[in-house]
Amino acid sequence: MSGGGDRPRVVLGVTGGIAVYKACELLRLFTESGHDVTVVPTAAALEFVGAPTWAALSGKPVAADVWHDVHEVPHVRIGRSADLVVVAPATADVLARAAHGLAGDLLTNTLLTAGCPIVFAPAMHTEMWEHAATQDNVATLRRRGALVLEPAEGRLTGADTGKGRFPDPAEVFAVARDVLDRSGAANLLDLSGRHVVVSAGGTREFLDPVRFLGNRSSGLQGYALARTAASRGAEVTLVAANVSLPDPAGVKVVPVQTTAELRDAVRSSAPVADAVVMAAAPADYRPTEVSGTKMKKADDGSAPVLRLAQNPDILAELAHDRPRAGLVVVGFAAETGERGRSVLDLATAKLARKGCDLLVVNDVSGGRVFGSPDNEAVVLDSAGGRTPVPRGTKSALAHVVWDRVVALLGDG
């Protein structure tokens, strides 16, 4: 870390959109977890949330222009000493000024002097985000190495909805932490220009309008994969089956319920993807008949007999019949081992059977892994390689998976 003890130094640039109130929460998340934060607002941001709020929450004085404390040359010092600059929310205006290298205020000066990673979390009305000018500016900033997150979709300031929402502050914080953790990496944005599809959660197969067959998948690993891919610069489609977690920042979330819906969503995105990671637990079977009304208990006390049909194996289908040459296909396997066959024996056979490029194997003997923030795994590849991943966070495992995907994608 550059100076300031061992506390990471973060510059939080806040700009003038209504979502700026959410940056107060982001600031708290940084300061409460031991970051040294300098807030640099634009003049427009101060129209929404005043300097005393930023000063109180960051514990530091706040300036928006370059004319304060000139003897300290703040327009150079703040940028040079930062470990990370996060501009959140980033308006269309600040994206334009940053793309063109304008330096009319302290924030844009800081952006020009920062030698550290820069993350923009844009928030604006859909028309402004989709305008060719904004899209060109975003492309310019990305080409120069900034991480510009895609805004979320949903309710905007008025009654309207669309793309342009500021993501959940905790999710912006998670991306920022991820970028800080990897700031020594040779290529921080090694998934930039790539489109990845991740499936997460567990599908439900309905018996009637209220009952279903399901499984214990929490979606945590798939969400960690999506979040980390976005922080490495990928365009991410997350097909989420029955997951109750906040949408990761910068990620397009497609909610599904059943295995058939999951299959449709994955197959419609796969032809334009560079990699598909099947972290979801699709139900292998579905009832052959779904009752349109709630099933009643039989008066004679007899139990119903369920007839099940097997669902298609989405991973095997994709791996054996790739919709795009060079598509990298990654599966997950939860194994317990059985008599005479170890977890790795079973997983090696599964990798060959499914035809995928990588298989991430978890040992789930005794109900381990489900819902836990940690994971321990071995990543098998189709050439016979084995990469053990020691017990650690699901994000750490996700990064190992992306490292392997990046290696398989090569420069193509």
Q: What type of residue is 202?
A: G
Indicate the residue among 141 and 265 with the shorter CB distance to ligand CTP. Answer: 265
> At 121, phi and psi to the nearest 5?
-115, 90
Q: What angle do CA 40, 16, 103 make, to 5 degrees?
A: 55
361 lies in the site for ligand CTP, by CB under 6 A: no
| Listed ranges 2-10, 208-216, 306-314, 377-385: which one lies at the site for ligand CTP (CB under 6 A) | 306-314
Chain positions 258 to 277 lying near ligand CTP, rule: CB under 6 A, are: 259
Query: Cis ω on the peptide bond leading into residue 89 (within 30° of 0)?
Result: yes
116 lies in the site for ligand CTP, by CB under 6 A: no
Chain positions 284 to 303 lying near ligand CTP, rule: CB under 6 A, are: 284
Exposure on the CB side of residue 107, measured as CA atoms within 13 A: 29
202 lies in the site for ligand CTP, by CB under 6 A: no
Pick from 278, 319, 329, 351: which binds ligand CTP (CB under 6 A)? 278
Indicate the residue among 174 and 334 with the shorter CB distance to ligand CTP. Answer: 334
Contacts of 285 (CB under 8 A, 6+ apart): 205, 213, 308, 309, 310, 311
Does residue 109 have an active-site annotation? no
- What minimum distance in Å lies between the beta carbon of 242 and ligand CTP? 14
CB 107, CB 15: distance < 8 Å: yes
| Listed ranges 128-136, 140-148, 327-335, 384-392: which one lies at the site for ligand CTP (CB under 6 A) | 327-335
Residues written for the chain = 412
Contacts of 286 (CB under 8 A, 6+ apart): 205, 213, 258, 259, 260, 308, 309, 311
- What minimum distance in Å lies between the beta carbon of 393 and ligand CTP? 20
Indicate the residue among 43 and 316 with the shorter CB distance to ligand CTP. Answer: 316
- What minimum distance in Å lies between the beta carbon of 400 and ligand CTP? 16
219 lies in the site for ligand CTP, by CB under 6 A: no
| Listed ranges 69-77, 184-192, 326-334, 383-391: which one lies at the site for ligand CTP (CB under 6 A) | 326-334
Contacts of 323 (CB under 8 A, 6+ apart): 267, 270, 271
Q: What type of residue is 39?
A: V
315 lies in the site for ligand CTP, by CB under 6 A: yes
H or E element at residue 124: none
Active-site entry in 109, 187, 215, 311: 215
Strand order in the sheet with 328-335: 251-256, 235-241, 195-201, 275-278, 328-335, 358-363, 374-381, 386-393
311 lies in the site for ligand CTP, by CB under 6 A: yes
- What minimum distance in Å lies between the beta carbon of 286 and ligand CTP? 10
User: Nearest Cα to 350, choosing from 367, 375, 369, 332?
Assistant: 332
314 lies in the site for ligand CTP, by CB under 6 A: yes
Alpha-carbon distance 85 to 81, whole Å? Answer: 10
217 lies in the site for ligand CTP, by CB under 6 A: no
Alpha-carbon distance 116 to 15, whole Å? Answer: 20
Instruction: State the CB neighbour count (10 A cutoff) for residue 160.
Output: 11
- What minimum distance in Å lies between the beta carbon of 332 and ligand CTP? 4
- What minimum distance in Å lies between the beta carbon of 231 and ligand CTP? 23
Task: Determine whether 297 is exposed, middle or buried from the number of CB atoms within 10 Å of its CB (0-12, 13-18, 19+).
Answer: exposed
Indicate the residue among 173 and 332 with the shorter CB distance to ligand CTP. Answer: 332
48 lies in the site for ligand CTP, by CB under 6 A: no
Indicate the residue among 189 and 329 with the shorter CB distance to ligand CTP. Answer: 329
| Listed ranges 123-131, 146-154, 209-217, 330-338: which one lies at the site for ligand CTP (CB under 6 A) | 330-338
Task: Determine whether 47 is exposed, middle or buried from the number of CB atoms within 10 Å of its CB (0-12, 13-18, 19+).
Answer: exposed
Indicate the residue among 8 and 331 with the shorter CB distance to ligand CTP. Answer: 331
- What minimum distance in Å lies between the beta carbon of 353 and ligand CTP? 8
Q: What's the start-to-end Cα distance of the chain, in Å?
A: 34
| Listed ranges 28-36, 189-197, 309-317, 402-410: which one lies at the site for ligand CTP (CB under 6 A) | 309-317
Residues annotated as part of the active site: 215
Name the residues that contact ligand CTP, by CB under 6 A: 259, 278, 280, 282, 284, 311, 313-315, 331-334
